[in-house]
Structure 1
Amino acid sequence: MLKRLPRVSSTRIVLGVTAIIVGYFLVMGAVTALRSSQLSDREDRLRAEIAGLEQRYERLEMLREYLGSDEYIEAVARGQLGLVREGENGIVVISTAPLSAPDPDTPEESELWWEMLTR
């Protein structure tokens, strides 16, 4: 014979459905809180990156202004090109140590290069 299943009261059904709905909302709240935390962290990282890029932009802008200034152009003209202003005297520093000349009495150096090849 078939046994009858015990009858479930409508109160238990309502409580079960309510528990499922409450569980769903709890899970969705936790997921939303996690996502919000991730977005907040990303926002902080992006704000820090923006601040760094703004500082870099300011440094590059100052460098660009300096490279276009008369002060920089004069420094390059004097330092790299050796130019002087009208009325100034340019000074060229020459090494005080004399260069040593080869000793002509050395037999290896007095030979011609093709004689060294034919030995």
Structure 2
Amino acid sequence: MGALTTTRTRLLIVLCFAVAGYGLYTAATGWYRNSQLENDRTAAEQRVRALEEEKAYLEAVRAYVASDAYVEQQARRQLGYARDGETVFVVSSPPVEQGREQSGSWWQRLFPR
């Protein structure tokens, strides 16, 4: 009977270690998944904030473009209009370098911050 009890005890110990190992594995993978989800959530929140800032900027640009001040500015710049009593000056700039790439979206170049 002694050998049978020792074998059962060893089997029980091995079984307990297996259950404990599985529990530790499950806890570790759960912690890792939660950590990854938290990182993804933080990155998504930062992206949302950046997009909200860009949206606010674009809405401000849209409001400015719809204003009378912008229409007058463009009439003066592109068409050379002037009010009575004003003198128009034309300033020429140096030529643009060939092959030079411009960065940013067209509205960011048109309306720098």
Name the TM-score class by shorter chain.
0.5 to 0.7
Q: Aligned partners of 2:7 and 2:31: how far apart in 1?
A: 36
| Matched residue, 1:71 | 69
Question: Offset of 1:40 from its aligned partner?
Answer: 0.6
**How many residues align structurally?**
87
Q: Which amino acid aligns with 1:25?
A: G
Which among 6, 11, 16 is matched to residue 13 of structure 1? 11
**Structure-1-length-normalised TM-score:** 0.65
Task: Determine if the alignment matches structure 1 residue 61 to structure 2 residue 68.
Answer: no
For 1:54-109, what per-residue CA distance to the aligned partner results, in whole angstroms no more than 9, with x for missing partners? 00000000000000100000111122211234xx1353558xxxxxxxxxxxxxxx
Task: Determine if the alignment matches structure 1 residue 28 to structure 2 residue 26.
Answer: yes
List 4+ stretches of structure 1 deviating above 6 A.
Answer: none
Unaligned runs of 5+ in 2: 91-113
The structure, 1 or 2, with the larger RCO (C-alpha pairs under 8 Å, 6+ apart) is 2
**Structure-2-length-normalised TM-score:** 0.68
Task: Determine if the alignment matches structure 1 residue 89 to structure 2 residue 85.
Answer: yes
Unaligned runs of 5+ in 1: 1-5, 95-119
Q: Aligned partners of 1:48 and 1:84: how far apart in 2?
A: 46
Q: Aligned partners of 1:12 and 1:20: how far apart in 2?
A: 12
> Rg larger in 1 or in 2?
1
Q: CA RMSD in A?
A: 1.9
| Matched residue, 2:37 | 39
Q: Which amino acid aligns with 2:52?
A: E
Report the 3-state secondary structure (helix = DSSP H, G, I; strand = E; otherwise coil) of the residue aligned with 1:83.
Answer: coil
Richer in helix (by share)? 2
Contact 2:82 2:88 in 1 (8 A): no
